[in-house]
Amino acid sequence: MIEIKHRITEEVLYTHYGDSLQSADLQSADLQSANLQYANLQYADLQSANLRSADLQYADLQYADLQYADLKYANLRSADLQYANLQYADLRRSDLQSANLQYADLQSANLQYANLKYANLQYADLRSADLDFSCLPLWCGSLSMQVDERLARQFLAHAFNAAAPFLKPTKKQAEFINQCHRIKSGSIPKV
């Protein structure tokens, strides 16, 4: 039997009858503010689970199903999320610093204000994800991530605005970039 406790009060939030959380069925479980540091949650079913403000630092979540999970304000520093399914997950203001998100499916995930500093996003699928106001790594770990046109426009808008003194986009590039949702809203100047 494994007891999952609140990270501050030590109150038991969930009791899992088994000797491991690996492959555990925690679908829709209320694990808000749970202490899951270093937990082995490989292949766990956490669909629609409430993990808001949970401490998942160094947790092993490889291949975990976190579709529609509420991970707002969660501490996922150095968590291993390789091949995890995070479609439609709410990761707003979560801390994913140094997390391994290689091959993770983040399609339509909400990553607003998320800290992705040093995160490994190689081959992660970020199509339709919302990365507004997040901290995205500028290192080799983000070179192979999959993005859609919306994110491509947003990345290029930032890059071309920063490079404006040195580089002017072609007319075709400017037309593409200026369709960015942040430019259309007036938050970012046109290129």
Contacts of residues 13-22 at CB distance under 8 Å and 24 or more positions apart, as own/partner, are: none
User: Could you give the number of structural domains in the chain?
Assistant: 2
Structural domain span for residue 61: 20-147
pLDDT in tens, 37-77: 999 999 999 999 999 999 999 999 999 999 999 999 999 99
What pTM value is reported for the model? Answer: 0.91
Cβ burial, residue 72 (10 Å; 0-12/13-18/19+): buried
pLDDT in tens, 73-111: 999 999 999 999 999 999 999 999 999 999 999 999 999
Same domain for 185 and 138, yes or no, is: no
Supply the pLDDT for residue 19. 81
Residue 19 is given by DSSP the state S
Same domain for 167 and 76, yes or no, is: no
102 close to 79: Cβ distance less than 8 angstroms: no
Look up residue 9 and give its two tokens: 């009060």
- Mean pLDDT is lowest, of 27-36, 62-71, 141-150, for 141-150
Same domain for 141 and 152, yes or no, is: no
Same domain for 106 and 38, yes or no, is: yes
Same domain for 68 and 125, yes or no, is: yes
- Per the domain annotation, does 156 fall within a domain? yes
